[in-house]
Amino acid sequence: MVINHTKSQIVFEHDAKNELATSELNNTEFYLGRPLEVGDSTYVAEYGGSWPNFFKRSKFQKLNLFIFNFDTLKRYSGINYLVEHKLYRRFEFSEADLEKSNWQIIVKD
């Protein structure tokens, strides 16, 4: 679960890789349609398997969470621009980290 404790709306993506590839993220409308409001939370779904399998597939056994400011996404030409210019924050978590936090990721400013 991702919990937004920042001062603004955010959008996010998760991946097993340390870097995002812009070709994977070319649907800006998808991100514009799902901002996480201040104080709200949402579950992170692992499509195509389970979380234990996700960590096994991950090169470094880490979940990488990429946080984008929603207003910044709207301001620029799209999600690929933000990735290319590294206008995001990246957090990484091991399975043990997530178990310790009861699978809750609190995003703060």
> For the segment 22-50, what is each residue's pLDDT rounded down to a tens digit?
666 667 888 888 899 999 999 988 766 78
Residues across the chain: 109
- The residue among 75, 70, 87 whose CA lies nearest residue 6 is 70
**Res 108: pLDDT:** 97
- The residue among 94, 63, 77, 69 whose CA lies nearest residue 22 is 77
Which of 47 and 16 is assigned the larger pLDDT? Answer: 16
Q: For the whole model, what pTM was predicted?
A: 0.89
Tell me the helices (H) and strands (E) count for the chain, helix number first: 5, 6
